[in-house]
Amino acid sequence: MFLQGRIPRITALLYTSPHSVYVPGFTSDFLIRPSTLVNREFGMVIRKRFVVRALSALLLGAMALPACGGAQRDSALTTDQGKLTAATQEGDFATTMQAADAAWAKRAEKASLMSAIGEWEKAAQLPTPDLAPEARAAVIADINERLTRAYYFLGDSHLRVEGASDEEIMAVFEKGVTAAERAIALRDPEFAAKVAADKNAWQGAVKSASPTAAPALYWYATNLGKWALLEGIATILSRKDDIKVTMDWIVANDPGFFYGAPHRYFGTYHTKVPLGGGNPEASKASFENAIQIAPNYLATKVLMAENYAVLVGERELFESLLNEVVNTPSNVDPEIEPENAFEKMKAKKLLEEADEYFY
């Protein structure tokens, strides 16, 4: 059988409504056009009339592979605080941080974003002689939180709009996961110790995580979700519960974090779960909560259009949300002008492709 040995690398597909085909996951990137399904690895085109049969075979085959556990990656979670905070380079910390922050302000330009990432990576290795060990640990955790967000922005915005390869985008999201793990270990050493001792302890440990770890846990989950979806079905299945429990914890502890991010996450999540049609009511409520918290964060409306509106077949809502994004100035909130600029690009592209989502 030509699929033998390759199933973990095949993207999982799920037919969820008469209007669209989805990958079962947690982001909007993997909604597959209803006219055709293209498998990049094998160069196959599967016409819609074969979708249900093909999906059933792939999903059942993947479910039969629990032992493979999905793709493995080396975790950066460690109980060795000295390793995480060691100064291995020479240079001026304050000057390097100033350069990073200045470049980050211009992150709408890819070169500036890459410069910010490079400066932060360097700063994390520089000495801070005026700081006590505990204060240095907090500073290095903050740098890694900035890095994990920066890597996510690079993958989800710049590389996505450029049409970069899956492998290139995966590598960036994995770097985001690693930076988040470092920050988690520094913010909550007790949590890190539990997970380092038992890789299956995540779901129980996160329920008692320190609130100071919330930003790192959020960016960990979002980067990991994107990486896992690109990696394949076995990886999705092995990671999805850890991600959901993490987001449940963030909703309970910091529901307004990053412009209503946990509600935005569940808005998309509920269009995929339960399998076979999702939970449209829960999805709508989650998206509306996120919009109420941060109406000027345009990504929420893009995701609601691309996921909820398509799931329920509401083209009018789809176009209304996306036109609202297109017509909103990127600088409606100066703090997230670069993020909004990319969401406007995504919205325009989705409007151009509307006929592929509704027919």
As a three-state string, the secondary structure of 144-160 is: HHHHHHHHHHHHHHHHH
The pair phi, psi for residue 44, each rounded to 5°, is -95, 150
Per-residue pLDDT, 53? 35
For residue 108, the Cα-to-chain-centroid distance in whole angstroms is: 19
CA distance 67 to 63: 10
Q: Is 274 left (phi over 0), alpha (psi -120 to 50) or beta?
A: beta
Per-residue pLDDT, 27? 40
- Per-residue DSSP letter, 14: E
Per-residue pLDDT, 166? 94
Give the H/E segment covering residue 262.
helix 257-269
Q: What residues form DSSP beta bridges with 36?
A: 47
45 Cβ contact list (under 8 Å, min separation 6):
36, 37, 38
Give the H/E segment covering residue 256.
none
Letter string b/e over residues 184-199, b meaning 16 or more CB atoms within 10 A of that residue's CB: bbbbbbebbbbbbeee
This prediction has a pTM of 0.81
The SS3 of residue 196 is helix
Per-residue pLDDT, 58? 41
The first and second tokens of residue 263, run together, are: 């509600």
Per-residue pLDDT, 33? 37
Chunked in runs of 10, what are the mean pLDDT values of the chain (359 residues)?
31 37 39 35 32 38 42 71 93 98 98 98 97 96 98 96 94 97 96 90 94 96 90 77 94 95 94 87 98 98 97 97 98 98 97 92
Per-residue pLDDT, 233? 72
Pairing of strands 20-22, 14-17: antiparallel
